[in-house]
Amino acid sequence: MPPHQLTTNSSPSAAVASGGVGRRHLLYAVPTIGFAGLVAVLWWGLTHDPSVLPSALIGRPVPSFSLPPVQGRTLGLSSADLVGEVSLVNVFASWCTACRVEHPILMRLAETKAVTIHGLNYKDAPADAARWLDTLGDPYTRTGADWDGRVGVEWGIYGVPETFVISANGRVMLRHAGPITPQVLGGTIKPMIARLRREAEGRRP
């Protein structure tokens, strides 16, 4: 055979065979990649509290807003009211079943004066919201009536109840979705409040 014919096997059949091997490798790799992704998702779910939601607001100033008070109350709620002390903003509604679950905890917390609690009334009828607080008690220093939900959109609210911990300089530092339980209050919210107060004290001259 002439020297110029001594080449590697590059026949069409060899190319097809090579392509088949590549496709088989790809078919084996896809399930492996998918399984790894599933493991990662499960690991994240097991190691993160699903009620502590990530939020684009964390560490940022509260959205600029100003709302009138719930019917029968005198103090409305605005972004300016959330500067000067560590506070909670609790999103509630009279039609929210889970809000009824956490309400006694909010009442007890308000009685201790451990932290100022403000209420953001979300997409509620004025008379219904007033009746709710008149009947069950009002733990809020200020309330804001977000009748059309526009302020809730700015806060990224998608469910009720939700509670936000606000720093003394008016920044959102924690978002909790769902009703506050004694475990959440003692294990998550109160430690955050204590930390923020220590930091605020440290900044004072």
pTM: 0.74
Tens digits of per-residue pLDDT, 88-142? 999 999 999 999 999 999 999 999 999 999 999 999 999 999 999 999 999 999 9
Please tell me the distance from the alpha carbon of residue 199 to that of residue 204, in angstroms, as a whole number.
9
Q: What pLDDT sits at residue 29?
A: 47
Percent with pLDDT over 90 in the chain? 68
* Residue, of 142 and 54, whose pLDDT is higher: 142
Per the prediction, the chain carries an average pLDDT of 82
Identify the pLDDT of residue 201: 86
Q: pLDDT tens for residues 139-181?
A: 999 999 999 999 999 999 988 999 999 999 999 999 999 999 9
**Calpha distance 159→150 (Å, rounded):** 14
Tell me, what's the pLDDT at 176?
96
Second-level CATH architecture of 66-203: 3-Layer(aba) Sandwich (3.40)
Residue spans of the domains in the chain: they are 10-47, 66-203
